[in-house]
Amino acid sequence: MALRFRRTVSIFPGVRLNLGKRGVSVSAGVRGANLTLGRNGLYGNAGMPGTGLSYREKLNKGNTKGLQRSAKQSPKVPAMAEQIANVDLNTTTGDIAILDADGQDLGDEGFEVAKEYARDALEATLSEQVDEHNRMMARIGDIHLQTPPPDQFPALEPEPFEAPPPTQPELRRLDLRARLCPARKRAIVESNERKKHRYQQQYLRWQNNSTQHDHREQVRAALYDQAEKGDPEAMEAVLDDHLLDIDWPRETQLSFELSEDGRTLMLDVDLPEIEDFHTTELRMYQRGVGVSVNTLSDTAVRKLYMAHVHGMGFRLIGEGFACAPTVHTVILSGFTQVPDTATGGQTDKYLYSVKVNREAWQRIQFDNLDVVDPVDALAAFELRRDMTKTGIFRAIEPWD
């Protein structure tokens, strides 16, 4: 016969701690009706003292099975989810590509995994890209709204020195072995000296770069001050510093020439081709994950293109008058690059050229630019332009 060991310790009235060879359990209740919590779960016990009749039932069996089922049914994150690094939205077609860290498209499977395991992040990224595209489309037609009045000289925007100073090295300490061994001590000391020397060189380079940056900022500040007073060379430097730093909706290249007396400014701007123009407006799906694309009609695209290329000219004329207080006349010409059928290369096709004097420019209400149409505004000056009502341009000869 097997021997059984059990010892009961009373913790406080009604609660007992049972110690046995198979483990520990706790009982609570009165004789004939109690609960037991042990290694196999929670049991209810009922009996009639003196009769030998009793009843025992496991009370938490349903919860245990439910927990087991949940553990078995919890989905395992697929390996592809770990590869997802970026989301690429095609703003022309609305196609969505899920990319890995190397920029490789993970295909339809990657898109389904992203929807299943990273839906919030996917939708947030798509929403950000949609908003950015739509903001850019709005800026394309409203670029002239940021045009300054002719008497508003641009403020100098300091460029911060963003390079952080080098981090001081962590030097090795002399341990007991180094104190007992001269060779080890010498090796540690020499290693620390090399680290300190390297740090001093890095710090001197950083300090020199910081000093040079501060000097350049002082020179810039002096140029802005001289330009505001009408110095031609300083005005040219400010024009170069300011005009080329405008945040255009599309990459824009321009060149300019200021006369020696500072009275005439000539600007040439390389306009975008209409074939490369954005023609879509985007919107997130209200249900599901995706982006709907509204493609503008040809008429709407040409209208937007007209507003943009004339708005760029309007903005540049205004910036020229503001940056160069002595300038009396601005001559601006906008062109695009087109294939040369005679040589096979590229040639400049001028779309318009306008000559504006300061007195006429000052008649514009710069506090009410939201009602100004740059297409009509440039036509109020000496304008060379051959354009149909639908926005088709033919080449012209610019002002000399």
pLDDT in tens, 313-333: 999 999 999 999 999 999 999
Question: Would you state the pLDDT for residue 252?
Answer: 79
Quick one: pLDDT band at residue 69, thresholds 50, 70, 90?
A: very low
**In this structure, are 38 and 150 located in the same domain?**
no
Question: Would you state the pLDDT for residue 276?
Answer: 81
* Contact of 104 with 97, CB cutoff 8 Å: no
Q: How far apart are CA 63 and CA 70, in angstroms?
A: 10
137 vs 330: which has the higher pLDDT: 330
Asked if residue 175 belongs to a domain, the reply is: no
**In this structure, are 235 and 330 located in the same domain?**
yes
**In this structure, are 149 and 283 located in the same domain?**
yes
Q: What is the percentage of the chain residues whose pLDDT exceeds 70?
A: 81
184 vs 35: which has the higher pLDDT: 184
Asked if residue 110 belongs to a domain, the reply is: no
Which residue, 11, 28, 58, sits at the end of a domain? 58
Which residue, 58, 88, 107, sits at the end of a domain? 58
Asked if residue 279 belongs to a domain, the reply is: yes
Q: Given a cut of 60, is residue 26 above it in pLDDT?
A: no
Asked if residue 22 belongs to a domain, the reply is: yes
Question: Would you state the pLDDT for residue 25?
Answer: 60
Which residue, 58, 75, 94, sits at the end of a domain? 58
Asked if residue 378 belongs to a domain, the reply is: yes
Q: How far apart are CA 96 and CA 81, in angstroms?
A: 16
**In this structure, are 7 and 150 located in the same domain?**
no
**In this structure, are 2 and 148 located in the same domain?**
no
Which tokens in the block code for residue 372? Answer: 């100004």
| Cβ contacts of 103 within 8 Å, gap of 6 or more | 86
Mean pLDDT across the stretch 109-128? 90
Q: How far apart are CA 97 and CA 122, in angstroms?
A: 11
Q: Given a cut of 90, is residue 355 above it in pLDDT?
A: yes
Which conformational region is residue 228 in: left (phi greater than 0), alpha (psi within -120 to 50 degrees), or beta?
alpha
Q: How far apart are CA 188 and CA 182, in angstroms?
A: 10
Q: How far apart are CA 386 and CA 376, in angstroms?
A: 14
**In this structure, are 41 and 149 located in the same domain?**
no
pTM above 0.75, yes or no: no
Q: Given a cut of 80, is residue 377 above it in pLDDT?
A: yes
Residue 172: what residue type? Answer: R
Q: How many CA atoms lie within 13 A of 280 on its CB side?
A: 18
Question: Would you state the pLDDT for residue 13?
Answer: 59
Quick one: pLDDT band at residue 4, thresholds 50, 70, 90?
A: very low
- Return the residue matching tokens 């002399």: 174
**In this structure, are 249 and 150 located in the same domain?**
yes
C-alpha Rg value of the chain to the nearest Å: 39
Asked if residue 244 belongs to a domain, the reply is: yes
Question: Would you state the pLDDT for residue 31?
Answer: 60
Mean pLDDT across the stretch 366-370? 94
Strands 53-58 and 41-48: antiparallel
Question: Would you state the pLDDT for residue 145?
Answer: 94
| Cβ contacts of 399 within 8 Å, gap of 6 or more | 331, 333, 353, 354, 355, 382, 384
Q: How far apart are CA 4 and CA 162, in angstroms?
A: 77
Mean pLDDT across the stretch 365-377? 95
Mean pLDDT across the stretch 226-246? 90
Question: Would you state the pLDDT for residue 8?
Answer: 55
**In this structure, are 259 and 353 located in the same domain?**
yes
**In this structure, are 148 and 283 located in the same domain?**
yes
Question: Would you state the pLDDT for residue 36?
Answer: 65
Asked if residue 276 belongs to a domain, the reply is: yes
**In this structure, are 236 and 377 located in the same domain?**
yes
Question: Would you state the pLDDT for residue 372?
Answer: 95
The H or E element spanning position 10 is strand 6-12
Question: Would you state the pLDDT for residue 244?
Answer: 76
Mean pLDDT across the stretch 23-41? 61
Quick one: pLDDT band at residue 72, thresholds 50, 70, 90?
A: very low
Q: Given a cut of 60, is residue 17 above it in pLDDT?
A: no
Across 22-31, 93-102, 277-286, 313-322, the highest mean pLDDT is recorded for 313-322
Q: How far apart are CA 151 and CA 329, in angstroms?
A: 14
| Cβ contacts of 255 within 8 Å, gap of 6 or more | 267, 268
Asked if residue 16 belongs to a domain, the reply is: yes
**In this structure, are 388 and 259 located in the same domain?**
yes
Which conformational region is residue 185 in: left (phi greater than 0), alpha (psi within -120 to 50 degrees), or beta?
alpha
For the stretch 251-302, pLDDT in tens is 778 899 999 999 999 999 999 888 888 889 999 998 889 999 999 999 899 9
Mean pLDDT across the stretch 339-359? 91
Question: Would you state the pLDDT for residue 295?
Answer: 92
Least confident of 151-160, 238-247, 331-340: 238-247
Domain count, the chain: 2
**In this structure, are 251 and 382 located in the same domain?**
yes
In which domain, by residue range, is 274 found? 143-154+226-394
Q: What is the mean pLDDT of the chain?
A: 84
Question: Would you state the pLDDT for residue 138?
Answer: 86
Which tokens in the block code for residue 159? Answer: 């460029």
